[in-house]
Amino acid sequence: MCKVIKVLLFGYLSISIVQADSLKVRDSQTGALIDAEILIQSIDANDLTTEDLRNIKLGKKPLADILILNSEVIYTQKTAVQLSPGSDFRLLTVSADGYKTLQTYINANSNVVLEQIMLDQSVYEPKSRNLCEDSTLCGYIYDKNSGMPLRNVAISVNNDSDKTETYTDDYGLFYFSEKLPETIEILIQQQGYQSQLLTEVGTGSSLQMVIDLDAGSGIKKIDMTHPLKKGGFKDRNSQWVRAKLSHQPSEYNLPVILERSSGAVYLEPPASIRVGFSSTGGTCCGSNCSTSQVYSLETYVQRGLDNEWISSWDSDSLKAGSIPYRSYGAWHVINGTYPGYDICAGPCCQAFGYTGYSSTMNAAAATNGIMLDLNGELARSEYSAQNNSWDDPNDGLSCTNVDLSCGNGYVGSPSAGWPCLSDSLSSNHGCFGHGRGMSQWGTQYQALNGSSFADIVDFYYNANNNPSGMRSQFASTPIRLNSIAISDSVINQNELLTIYFNIFNSSDTNQPFGPVLLGASLYDGVAYFSDLANDVSTTVNQAGVSVLDRPFQLDASVLPGIYDLITALYLDVDGNNQISSADWLLQVYTQTGALEVLEEGDLIFRDGFEL
């Protein structure tokens, strides 16, 4: 029997799936239906080891010796398709020309309906880029039932003193290039369809939207005010607040403090995430979701961050927020306990919509693949709106911090494992949240005070490298050094050496990882010798193994002898192309006795050949 299911997509708007058990594959940037191939492999869940399931969650293939009970291939042909019912664990591999292949799965005996899968283009150049890159507002409009683009839809942008109007083209695309007020209303009208009025739409950065229209008449009003911004700092959406306050603390076990002089912990991000929604396409809480949608992890972070952080905030605030947002989502992929999905779309898990603000998308791209670890394992990195340990009796906000003993001007919740931390910039702001982890408003205060995103993350999660209790979380790295090679193991003074960095990259390659600084020094047991001029800044652009190189110029201070070679990867946090204390150390690699330096002119033979 045919029935309409509404699915939340692109912010607070909705799209429909024609039948409850139908599945659509869509472009993650434009919302267009994709001609995709879906390989479905049924597996006995009892045949999957913990390692197998973890590899599947990371986007890897299960071991070859796993018995495949049944296989089928479905071609979507830009329409919704029916999934055959099944009680077994089902592994889905979704591919399409021009798109990155995505792997996901359906749990055995799951009653959660998988309704759509969003694919990322294999080269990050969405069809809308040429028109949208210089726009302040653009989007696509579709017929909700057919998924086909609608042309000649009228889009009006209204503010207190002006009104601007445009129409969609044959692809359903519209855009505005003129500067828009900070807050606008958007009215969308098409004969034969229900109009939509979007109010309090922020324009702090350029915005891309996808909107699906219902057939019918009348007007649907949608309030787009950010929950953290409603009524200013003092008054926020009560439903959103109640959901956020229902967060349960992470299990508290005193971690072993890792020695971190060799750099960050390497953690491989999950490739995708299954997000739970209600049967009507709205948000749901905890285990109460009945439908799911699948996104790549980076698309989830880029498109969802503005639902937790205000998109007009400082870029370092947004970058700082993207790291726990990614880590919290990834933790639920690896450790999730919900039936049929990894995390719910509601604020009682982590708020997620699908608006595309350039500020939050760029912030997430700048931290591509970086998460947080606790004692070497992926951290469930918590945060809440305002963690100042003082409950203002006059602000009307609900403070759920179970331990306010830290006092005004401090953040923390000692009884939940989060030690007190002086945070003077949050002084006299009433507690609004649980006090654990990062303070969302605090990130903005600190960014405006000149802190980098790395400073902010280190401040809230490890007390600036003074870890204790749950405040012992550090930024991880999605890249690692496999090995180092050099052009010559024996070299004369004042000669040029080439160093080759063999790097493995597990981050999303639709966005380059970096900028990364390739550092190197020689060590003779007493002193270090560097070549700062050749500390190369680069990006890692491909998945898997890359070999990057940098020169190292020996000078007269490097005397004849045997030297250790010390190489390092840094994330260039301040973007100045120089290694400094502001940058994050990702990894150090030492080769003992790697290089012999001879007195200038002594090297006559090399590898048995006269030079």
C-beta separation of 299 from 364 below 8 A: no
CA 562 to the chain's CA centroid: 44
- Quick check: 34 pLDDT over 90? yes
User: Which pLDDT band holds residue 449 (cuts at 50, 70, 90)?
Assistant: very high
Co-location of 510 and 595 in the same domain: yes
- C-alpha 130/C-alpha 128 separation (Å) is 6
Same domain assignment for residues 379 and 439 = yes
Q: Are residues 397 and 494 in the same domain?
A: no
What pLDDT, on the 0 to 100 scale, is given for residue 134?
Answer: 80
Q: Find the domain containing 571 and state its range.
A: 479-606
Residue 431 is given by DSSP the state P
Residues 6+ positions from 459 with CB-CB distance below 8 Å:
421, 423, 446, 451
- Angle at which helices 440-448 and 315-335 pack, to 10 degrees? 150
Give the pLDDT score at 1.
34
Same domain, 141 and 196: yes
- Residues 484 and 468 both lie in one domain: no
Mean pLDDT across 217-233? 75
Same domain, 134 and 158: yes
Q: How far is residue 495's CA from residue 109's CA, in Å, rounded to a whole number?
A: 66
- Give the list of residues 6+ apart from residue 56 with CB closer than 8 angstroms, or none: 48, 62, 91, 103, 105
Say if residue 127's pLDDT is above 50.
no
Query: What pLDDT band is residue 395 in, cutting at 50, 70 and 90?
Result: confident
User: Residue 493 carries which side chain, given as an amino acid letter?
Assistant: Q
Distant-in-sequence, close-in-space partners of 69: CB < 8 Å, separation ≥ 6: 42, 43, 44, 88
Beta bridge partners, 105, equal 91
Residue 215 is assigned to a structural domain of this protein: yes
Q: How far apart are CA 232 and CA 236, in angstroms?
A: 7
Confidence of residue 21 (pLDDT cuts 50, 70, 90): low
The residue with greater pLDDT, 378 or 261, is 378
**Burial of residue 470 (number of CB atoms within 10 Å: 0-12, 13-18, 19+):** buried
- The reply to whether 167 falls in a domain is yes
User: Which of 457, 473, 489 is the last residue before a domain boundary?
Assistant: 473
Number of domains in the chain: 3
Q: Report if residue 97 sits inside a domain.
A: no
Residue at 325 is within a domain? no
On whether both 446 and 492 belong to a single domain, the answer is: no
Per-chain mean pLDDT for the chain: 87
* Confidence class for position 229, pLDDT limits 50, 70, 90: low
Of the candidates 119, 195, 184, 203, the residue with the CA atom closest to the CA atom of residue 150:
195
Q: What is the pLDDT of residue 259?
A: 59
- 421 and 483 belong to one structural domain: no
Average pLDDT over residues 438-462: 96
Angle between helices 315-335 and 50-57 (to 10 degrees): 150
- Taking residues 381-386, report their average pLDDT: 93
Provide the pLDDT confidence category of residue 542 given band limits of 50, 70 and 90.
Answer: confident
pLDDT for the residue numbered 235: 39
181 lies in the same domain as 195:
yes
Residue 542 lies in a domain: yes
Residue 74: inside a domain: no
Q: Residue 368: which pLDDT band, with cuts at 50, 70 and 90? A: very high
Q: What is the mean pLDDT of residues 575-593?
A: 94
Tell me: pLDDT of 601 over 90. no
User: b/e string for 148-169 if b means 16 or more Cβ within 10 A?
Assistant: ebbeebebebbeeeeeeebebe
From its phi and psi, is residue 162 left (phi > 0), alpha (psi between -120 and 50) or beta?
beta
Please name every residue paired with 114 in a beta bridge, in sequence order, or none if there are none. Answer: 292
pLDDT digits (tens, 9 = 90+) for 503-539: 999 998 788 899 999 999 999 999 999 999 999 899 9
Q: Does any domain span residue 321?
A: no
End-to-end Cα distance, the chain: 83
CATH code assigned at 146: 2.60.40.1120
Question: 314's torsion region: left (phi>0), alpha (psi -120 to 50) or beta?
Answer: beta
Q: Which residues pair with 421 in a beta bridge?
A: 411
Q: Are residues 514 and 449 in the same domain?
A: no
Q: Is the pLDDT of residue 608 over 80?
A: no
Centre a 10 Å sphere on the Cβ of residue 302 and count the other Cβ atoms it contains: 29
What average pLDDT does this structure show over 477-496?
Answer: 96
Quick: pLDDT tens for 257-300.
565 677 899 999 999 999 999 887 778 988 999 999 999 999 99
* End position of a domain, from candidates 473, 497, 516: 473
**Of 223, 252, 270, which residue is a domain's last?**
223
Pick the closest to residue 91 from 130, 45, 46 (CA basis).
45
- Say whether both 596 and 494 belong to one domain: yes
Residues 8, 10, 12, 18, CA torsion sign: negative
CATH code, domain carrying 551:
2.70.50.60
Residue 262 is predicted with a pLDDT of 75
Do 485 and 601 lie in a common domain?
A: yes
Residue 3 located in a structural domain:
no
pLDDT digits (tens, 9 = 90+) for 315-367: 999 999 999 999 999 999 999 878 899 999 988 899 998 888 999 999 999 99
Average pLDDT of span 382-395: 90
The tokens for 263 are 């750099």
Task: Read off φ and ψ for residue 321, nearest 5 degrees.
Answer: -70, -30
Task: Please state, in angstroms and rounded to a whole number, the distance separating the CA atoms of residues 581 and 299.
Answer: 31
Question: Given this model, what pLDDT does residue 249 score?
Answer: 61
Distance CA 17, CA 5 (A): 5
